[in-house]
Amino acid sequence: MNDNDLTKAILNVFKKELGSLGDILPSKLLSSITKKISPEIEGLVEKSGYVTKSKYESLERLAQELEKRIIDLEKSL
């Protein structure tokens, strides 16, 4: 589950707990809530020993680029 899916799930729980009041909340308010809780969710996920999907993909891409550079350096020796 990526960080955006997790944020959406938490917002859905939030709406459900508010009941009918959740249906009349302005979308601007929900967008603001999303922007504020996303970093908090990411922090909680990382404290649990996990990283977000986007961070994992960035680190994986960086590792692949470094591996390619090492291979190229070894070939030039």
Mean pLDDT of 28-45: 79
Closest CA to 39 of 52, 24, 56, 28: 52
Please determine, for residue 4, whether its predicted confidence score (pLDDT) is greater than 60: yes
pTM comes to: 0.50
How does pLDDT run across 54-70, given as a tens digit for each residue? 888 999 999 999 999 99
pLDDT (0 to 100) of residue 29: 78
Tell whether the torsion through CA atoms of 66, 67, 71 and 72 is positive or negative. negative
**For position 66, what pLDDT does the model report?**
97
CB 41 within 8 A of CB 6: yes
Mean pLDDT of 28-53: 79
